Amino acid sequence: MRDAVIVEAVRTPIGKRNGGLASVHPADLSAQVLIALTQRSGIDPAIVDDVIWGCVNQVGEQTFDLARTAALSAGWPESVPGTTVDRQCGSSQQAVHFAAAGVIAGHYDMVVAGGVESMTRVPMGSTMIANPLGQRYIERYGVEFPNQGIGAEEIADRWGLSRAQLDEFSLESHEKAARATDEGRFQDQIVPVPTVEGLISIDEGIRRGSTVTKLATLAPAFRPDGCITAANSSQISDGAAALLITSSENAERLGLRPLARIHTAVLAALSPMPMLHAPMPATEKALAKSGLQLTDIGAFEVNEAFASVPLAWLKDIGADPALLNPLGGAIALGHPLGGSGARLMTTLVHHMRDENIRYGLQTMCEGGGQANATILELL
């Protein structure tokens, strides 16, 4: 049976909203990681069977099949096709799942999976202006559209998480990301991006020197009596990430050394209210399908959409907190929606390689009450 392996994984630095990457068109931002994949692997881009690209707000500069535009912007041959995927925040993780399935089935020999979001140039919610859901949610859930911030508050309530716990987790995310940056842990995965203001090569969202006392002064963002603030929520960001996926046989034929095998890939879905708790059943489903135990997993990447999400996941799943988001997460690094799944996987596979970790698991909450979960096996 064919398998699917990752032979390269790269990302751009993550830019703050209106920050260093604000001048870069999302197709050009995507092109930077596509070019890096071919340069690092040495493959001819003409052998890429497809580019599967995650993007949430597919409007304006991110419309008209951004995957295809990105491949052309990278200077790749016109023979390379592309398709764009929207599974909300998990879009580029889903792109990896589609790519792996295509390789295993024999439809692809070489495929690129990843994603992008320029939240500066195409603001969050832009597609809702043209296509409101409105009555569809009112009839079933009593609201015009489920609010993720309120969902994060409901998760904190349901799992008994305090404001202090959320702020402490957020501070740790920044501290871990700052330490990883200082130690050069992101250097191999980051592709510097040329801009009109110079080369951007470092994640811009990391805040140093904060304290829980400072974080406690921020007002709640979604509910007057709530605990979700700007500090314990993910950052609005710009960025892209991509992975080169093939089979073991094809990698050997081309002289490529795989980083990891895509061992297991699953989906889960629950009610859109409170929306953000599907990573729990997704994790359980991935473990059951893989035949692995929780203790077999040496690293977990759980997207920090809000601090309440990974903390509730920890309480529910019972994983070792020391193995969760060891290099920081979206609270510190940022959350460029359509690119985040591939960013997490890029960070995970490099961390697994650096620390010789055999199995790693990634999961993330998604709009509409869904979640992807992926288990990687180091090769």
Stated pTM of the model: 0.97
> Catalytic residue at 365?
yes
Displacement of CA 119 from its chain's centroid (Å): 14
Quick one: pLDDT at residue 53?
99
The series of mean pLDDT values per 10 residues for the chain, 379 residues long, is 97 98 98 98 98 97 98 98 98 98 98 98 82 63 79 97 98 98 98 96 97 97 97 98 98 98 98 92 98 98 98 98 98 98 98 98 96 98
- Cα(112)–Cα(92) distance, integer angstroms: 11
Residue with the two structure tokens 């990687």:
376
Quick one: pLDDT at residue 297?
98
Catalytic option among 97, 263, 335, 351: 335
Q: Residue 127: enclosing H or E segment and its boundaries?
A: helix 126-130
Catalytic option among 55, 97, 174, 365: 365
Displacement of CA 108 from its chain's centroid (Å): 23
Quick one: pLDDT at residue 224?
96
> Catalytic residue at 227?
no
Quick one: pLDDT at residue 129?
64
**Please, which residues have CB within 8 angstroms of residue 309's CB and are 6 or more apart in sequence?**
152, 155, 276, 277, 279, 302, 303, 365
Length of the chain: 379
- Cα(203)–Cα(336) distance, integer angstroms: 12
Catalytic option among 89, 174, 263, 351: 89
DSSP code for 66: H
Quick one: pLDDT at residue 144?
64
Quick one: pLDDT at residue 138?
64
